Structure 1
């Protein structure tokens, strides 16, 4: 035992106590599994399982699923297929309670209108937004009656066998102009809310504790979608998201950064290899730190519909959105950010 302690001390490992309650263990397990499911293991396991099924005595099931997948391939661009049975899994509640995550409502959303939630920051993996947008753990529909929410994310997730079914079930759709416009079409839907993490996966590389860096100045596609559909824009901020990991710094021009950028261009995912804690110890691993997360949903910004918006019109709405986002950040950081006097919203 003394040798074990000595080695642990030299390696800088702080082990979790043995008497940690089962509830907290399950919370940690839920976060650990979700992180790896979303970053790599889910995709790889789905592909592996499909190939094994294809070359087994149950090959006909793989063929049948392939036919179904081809038939259903456009669902992710046509409003998705959310399933409350999946969104109500107890598993998501454990994830939510791990930090814990809280949703802060600042204004009502009229169910006769549609909404586009512009969310910042991306962080490493959008841990705070998940229980709000993808699960029912925070009872979104109770706070916003009549509002049906979903989120737009990477196309890759919807072309992987089996994995796509989970992505669709929790409200995911493809992050493209056509997909977002379809989901917010006022002739087709009322009370729809689609969330877009504006900075996307590229913003993950800018994530550092205590710094709210967001790629927003040049991102105007979501504004164009809002104008085309007349959907109100809703600034949304997750306070605490940037403090969950300690990303390994890769300065511009280094070999590591070039490799990271190359992977991002190919698959749309930023390989960050962040450092946080582990399942049974607090020093190393991919499990995020237990830091409280506060998802603040701002007041809607009304947008006049125009099927063919001009660049000037897009710029004007974009500027207004930035103004309201900064106002929301400055007003709410006092409540949810430590040393808030030294923390600003840095727009890239």
Structure 2
């Protein structure tokens, strides 16, 4: 049904699909507004609540005792990762995790997964590696994934407890090396290399990555001797469009300013709503496939030269490009007209 240009969802929709929409929309809104809600809740409890002393003690513990946990593997809670919320979210798209045939991870080794594209909010990487709702654990039962996110998120009261429980860790080099230097193996650090800079380019029908000048992940792989694994989320950029923000526009300047101040650009996503399909903060219901590629062997080098770094960087870019080109026809519509743009 359409009214005044807004396409509304039918009234008779199975409860299962309603719950899927609630799961996907609730996830996006929680992550986007979680920091602001946490700060407002903290102020409210300190100023207007009888719980102010408990909050003060929590903040002291957070700042002086628990401050480095995000750099030491975090503290996941499997009961949170097992919540039905994540299954409904996964089934909404639906989202599938696959591994290139023939690829098996060595249980005694640690791996550095490099996931692309970031999209609006790295939906594929989040579902695959920060929840237990997907096929990942069945495919790689001997490895524990740690999704890497901004360190600033771990100084936000309450919100930090959610991302901790999902197994997330800080994006600092110290944190990633801690994960990859586990002598027993079985760890995976999952980084979204393009970061929020890549989110600027997230639009349906295009795959533009921010990778050409990013080599920090390569240096860490060399220093730890961890294999690099390309991971691609096919369909990631189809989940949201965004308000036009060409470079030089007022909106882009505001977004650049917010990114500089708080680490995140104030992008304006265009998705759908809970009860209509024309606009909103709920992702579009599009198939999403997270494909794990073949590991690239890396020899440990304590002090890698620039030549070694860029040689491995080129090898990784070629591997990622091949992963996209070889599988895009299986997972994307109009694949023959889609090219991977690396900037």
Structure 1: give runs of 5+ residues left out of the alignment: none
Q: Is the 8 A contact 2:111 2:229 kept in 1?
A: yes
**In the aligned structure 1, how far is the partner of 2:227 from the partner of 2:77?**
25
Output the CA distance in 2 between the equivalents of 1:89 and 1:116. 26
Contact 1:53 1:61 in 2 (8 A): no
1:284 aligns with 2:279: yes
Note the C-alpha offset of 1:186: 4.2
Report the counterpart of residue 257 of structure 2 in structure 1: 262
TM-score (norm. length: structure 1):
0.95
1:210-233 Cα offsets, whole Å, 9 max, x none, are 111000111100111111111110
Instruction: Check conservation: 1:220, 1:318, Cα contact below 8 A.
Output: yes
Partner residue in 2 for 1:293: 288
Q: Deviations over 1:266-313 (max 9, x none)?
A: 111121111121110111111111000000000111100112111111
Whether 1:97 aligns to 2:109 is: no
| 2:314 matches 1:304 | no
CA contact (8 A) 2:207 2:338 kept: yes
8 Å Cα contact 2:257-2:265 kept in structure 1? no
* Structure-2-length-normalised TM-score: 0.96
**What SS does the corresponding residue of 1:54 show, helix, strand or coil?**
helix
Contiguous gaps of at least 5 residues in structure 2: none
Contact preservation (8 Å) 2:147, 2:191: yes
Cα distance in 2 for partners of 1:293, 1:329 equals 14
Partners of 1:32 and 1:9 in 2: CA distance: 22
Once residues 167 and 204 of structure 1 are traced to their aligned partners in structure 2, the CA distance between those partners, rounded to angstroms, is 20
Contact 1:101 1:293 in 2 (8 A): yes
Q: Secondary structure at the match of 2:254?
A: helix
Corresponding position of 1:142: 138
Distance 2:136 2:76 in 1: 14
Residue number in structure 1 paired with 2:334: 339
C-alpha contact 2:207 2:237 (8 A) present in aligned 1: yes
- Kept in 2, the 8 Å contact 1:186–1:229? The answer is no
The 8 Å contact of residues 123 and 204 in structure 1, kept in 2 or not, is answered as yes
Q: How far apart are residue 139 of structure 1 and its match?
A: 3.9
TM-superposed deviation, 1:51: 1.9
- Whether the 8 Å CA contact 1:186–1:230 is kept in 2: the answer is no
- Given candidates 60, 67, 79, the residue that maps to 1:73 is 67
Report the Cα offset of residue 156 of structure 1.
2.0
Secondary structure at the aligned position of 1:150 is classed as strand
